[in-house]
Amino acid sequence: MLLSCVHLIRRPLQCIQPLLVLPSRSFMDLKALVSSLNDFASLSLAESWDNVGLLVEPSPPHTVSTLFLTNDLTEEVMQEALQKKADLILSYHPPIFRALKRITWKTWKERLVIRALEHRVGIYSPHTAYDAIPHGVNNWLAKGLGVCTTVPLHPSMAPSYPTEGTHRVEFSVDHTEHLETILSSMRGIPEISSLITLPSRAEGKEQTRVSLNCTQKALLEVVALLSRNSLLYHKTEIMLLQKPLLPHTGMGRLCTLSEPVSLSALTERIKSHLRLPYVRLALGTGKTLEAKVKVAAVCAGSGSSVLQGVEADLYLTGEMSHHEVLDAVAKGISVILCEHSNTERGFLSELRDMLATHLENKITIIVSERDRDPLQVV
């Protein structure tokens, strides 16, 4: 009986022992996480007027175990983030946009900053950088149209030039002695790069073709040097270098459907994709609900400036002004408006999965349950 009792005691202990071993909580340093977020979507793609990146930073060191995603950071959403022990809030719309001259308890945006710092929660906003990337908000919105090919309405340019400098200067020199004098002077000008010489022939004469890249500042000195020789100066070519376009990257999307679809059917697809019971529809002049849509121009949020002048059968966006809708309708373009954030918020679930992979599941990523569009039909 004694041996039997020993067995009865040992078996429960074997069951309890694994429960006492708790896994270590995974986390990332805030600076490393922000760097990874910037790699996911370069902030250089954001519009110049935008306010993106890390907007609120707790005093370092700061580690992040839980990343909280929201479209709009309201006070209600901030309370939810604190309850869920978030260490960093990724708010698609920047809660700090216009400059804050003071941080008091007077306005709701100031209170957001205060509560974030009091609870050591960072705030990061990508906004229009996520609009531009190939795997971003506008591509997600375009999926609501069905099978289609998409191109950016306003392509993004690379943040830097393919070579050093902003301008290329080319000219030809007849005499070797003259050439050495010019090249020696050129090499003394700062911010000149890619200075090369190539043999050439023009008008039956052997010449040397000189090519160089330079900055705007250096260009003034180059032109001043060449202008000392009027013949050389008049044969000089100056070209403005262009930053290359980034493939599949930019604001808005022009979507060509694989097959034309009636406006009525397309409206239902969009409502299903956005999980909305309604949208607002303006029929283009001469169009009906059974009119076929082959090309749609899409812009998440407020699309007026992005969609302006685009030829399409349909504009799909969150909001446009009354007169902008009238302009589109007069051109025979139908318009579907879904309210601003309704064209953005659904992307967050897709973003959560993409970030989990990008960050190698090192942290917990959750999507707000209280974030919602402020407008509703009653």
Binding site: what residues are annotated? Answer: 93, 131, 340, 344
Cβ-Cβ contacts under 8 Å for 324 (sequence gap 6 or more)? 304, 308
In whole angstroms, what is the distance from residue 350 CA to residue 366 CA?
Answer: 11
CA-based nearest residue to 315, from 305, 307, 323: 307
Whether the CB-CB separation of 320 and 340 falls below 8 Å is answered with: no
Residue numbers in the known binding site for a divalent metal cation are 93, 131, 340, 344
What is the end-to-end Cα distance of the chain in Å, rounded?
75
- Considering only the C-alpha atoms of the chain, give the largest distance between any 2 of them, rounded to a whole number of Å: 117
Element housing 310 (H / E): none
Residue 269's nearest CA partner among 249, 298, 302, 248 is 298
Task: Report d(CA 313, CA 256) in Å as an integer.
Answer: 10
Positive/negative CA dihedral, 214, 220, 226, 231? positive
Sign of CA dihedral 198, 199, 200, 206: positive
* Tokens matching residue 183: 């090249």
| Sheet containing 167-173, strands listed edge to edge, beginning at the edge strand earlier in sequence | 192-202, 205-214, 167-173, 237-240
DSSP secondary-structure letter at 100? P
Rounded Cα distance between 309 and 323, Å, is 14
Strands, E, within 269-333: which ranges?
Answer: 280-282, 292-302, 314-319
**Dihedrals phi, psi of 287, to nearest 5 degrees:** -105, 155
The crossing angle, in degrees rounded to 10, of helices 216-226 and 176-187 is 150
Q: Say if residues 309 and 325 touch (Cβ distance below 8 Å).
A: no
Q: Can you give the three-state secondary structure of 338-366, one letter per residue?
A: CCHHHHCCCHHHHHHHHHHHHCCCCCEEE
